[in-house]
Amino acid sequence: MTLPQRTVTLAIALSMLLTTGLVATWGEEAEPQQPRVAFVDILTISSEYQALQKKDAELKAWLGGRGDYLQSLQVFIFLAEDNFNEALEIVNMPKPIPAEKVQRLDELEALSLQKEQRFLDLQSKSPRTTEEADQFSALREGLVARQQQLAQLEATINQDYQERVTTAREELMRNVEEAIAEYAQERGYDIVLDQAFVLYGGEDITWAIIDRLNPPTEAAPPAEEEPRPPAEEETPPAGDEPRPPEEGE
């Protein structure tokens, strides 16, 4: 998820131009002053802004979970519409699911697998009787209907994901604009542009903005020194042991 370009350029540049003292007082001649211009690399900010990367990872994890959810519904794909919707309702229940509902879900899965096996048997059989042809047609129509229902669910999930991405991007973009505006006012910059629009000149403040957006990293506490093992008692070298007293001494 990357931040939109040009938004910073237009919003920050316009606001800084309105606050500069470039307009001479009425009736007075003032020497022209060159505005101080800075620029930022929006793509670098997008890749280094920790809050943005964290939100991006959270949304991708959410989308992956929804994908697993859709995959889990494949085992019910041969059910009739009412039974399929019942399975959807149970799967979407808050966890943990009550034991009786889990049992019902197992029953619905077994029913779907039974119909799937019947469908495969009839599919491989030729010729079919009139009754078998009608049964095969009904199973095939039910399969197509459930596939369409799952496709609609997938489309809804993807739309929800895009809306979540857009909302998060807009919120984090406001943080970037505020950080740029504050830094520019503190350092006396009149205009801040996106690097994509800069051909020559200007001062690069990209990493200054990144440092302002990201929380300071905490220094790791110094490692405690391990206690030294007690010194072993020195043993006298061989040959220096005292002699036993001789007889008569």
83, part of any domain = yes
Residue 158 maps to a domain: yes
The answer to whether residue 194 sits within a structural domain is yes
Give the total number of structural domains in the chain: 1
Under a CB-based contact definition with an 8 Å cutoff, are residues 1 and 168 in contact? yes
Does residue 77 fall inside a structural domain? yes
> Is 29's pLDDT higher than 50?
yes
Reported confidence tier of residue 25, pLDDT bands at 50, 70, 90: very low
- Give the distance from CA 183 to its chain's centroid: 28
| In a domain? residue 156 | yes
* CB distance 119 to 139 below 8 Å: yes
β-pairing, 37-40 with 191-194?
parallel
Flag whether pLDDT at 218 surpasses 70.
no
Asked whether 22 and 191 are in contact (CB, 8 A), the reply is no
Task: List, for residues 173-216, the tens digit of each pLDDT value.
Answer: 999 999 999 999 999 999 999 999 998 999 999 999 999 999 88
Q: Is residue 248 part of a domain?
A: no
Please tell me the distance from the alpha carbon of residue 145 to that of residue 196, in angstroms, as a whole number.
49
Residue 238 is predicted with a pLDDT of: 54
pTM of this prediction exceeds 0.75: no
Give backbone dihedrals phi and psi of 237, rounded to 5 degrees, phi first. Answer: -65, 155
Domain that holds residue 48: 7-16+35-213
Instruction: Report pLDDT for 28.
Output: 52
Determine, yes or no, domain membership for 93.
Answer: yes
* Chain segment 35-94, per-residue pLDDT in tens: 899 999 999 999 999 999 999 999 999 999 999 999 999 999 999 999 999 999 999 999
More confident residue, 18 or 157: 157
Residue 123 lies in a domain: yes
What is the model's pLDDT at position 249?
Answer: 47
What average pLDDT does this structure show over 150-175?
95
